[in-house]
């Protein structure tokens, strides 16, 4: 059965928001549940602590505090990779996500974020 656009679809998207403890903040900011709005909120919101963009920005800032390198400059592979990931998010919007197909976007992002963790491991092993 195809549940897209039905009340059952909304229940599923609400469950996604609840799983990220995001339903209350989402409702305060956006109100109406739609797949596009939920995805945009969970990926690009800069104030929601469990949104991807927010987390990557905080990780980048924390890494620069640890290394002592000013934000906007790089001194190691971890900063470079995390900076690239942050830039990708900053220059991507929902139109890009839907144009590429959401699952394709997610797989590319997941691969990039996994790769960005590898230099962090190297940094802390030296």
Confidence tier at 115 by pLDDT (50, 70, 90): very low
Are 80 and 119 within 8 A, CB to CB?
A: yes
Q: Which residue has the higher pLDDT, 45 or 126?
A: 45
pLDDT of residue 117: 43
Pairwise CA distance, residues 82 & 67, whole Å: 13
Q: pTM here?
A: 0.75
- Residues 36-80 have pLDDT tens digits of 899 899 989 999 999 989 999 999 999 999 999 998 899 998 899
CA atoms within a 13 Å half-sphere pointing along the CA-CB vector of 14? 11
The domain locations on the chain are 1-42, 51-126
Which pair of structure tokens corresponds to residue 27? Answer: 């409702």
Residues 97-101 have a mean pLDDT of 70
Sequence-separated (6 or more) residues with CB below 8 Å from residue 45: 29, 51, 53, 54
Residue 6 DSSP symbol:
S
- Digit-coded pLDDT (tens) for 11-45: 888 998 999 899 999 999 998 898 889 989 998 99
Under 8 Å between Cβ of 100 and 123: no
How many alpha carbons lie under 13 Å from residue 75 in its C-beta half-sphere? 10
Using the predicted structure, report yes or no on whether residue 95 has a pLDDT greater than 80. Answer: yes
pLDDT top residue among 123 and 63: 63
Tokens representing 35 are 């797949």
Rounded CA-CA distance 57/64 in Å is: 11
């Amino acid at each position: 059965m195809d549940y897209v656009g039905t009340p059952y679809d909304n229940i599923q998207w609400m469950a996604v928001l609840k799983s990220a403890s995001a339903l209350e903040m989402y409702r305060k900011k956006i109100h109406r549940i739609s797949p596009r709005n939920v995805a945009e909120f969970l990926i690009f919101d800069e104030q929601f602590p469990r949104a991807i963009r927010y987390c990557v920005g905080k990780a980048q800032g924390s890494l620069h505090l640890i290394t002592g390198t000013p934000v906007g400059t790089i001194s190691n592979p971890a900063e470079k990779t995390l900076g690239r990931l942050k830039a990708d998010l900053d220059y991507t919007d929902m139109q890009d996500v839907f144009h590429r197909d959401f699952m394709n976007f997610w797989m590319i992002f997941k691969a990039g974020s996994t790769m960005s963790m590898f230099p962090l491991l190297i940094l802390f092993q030296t």
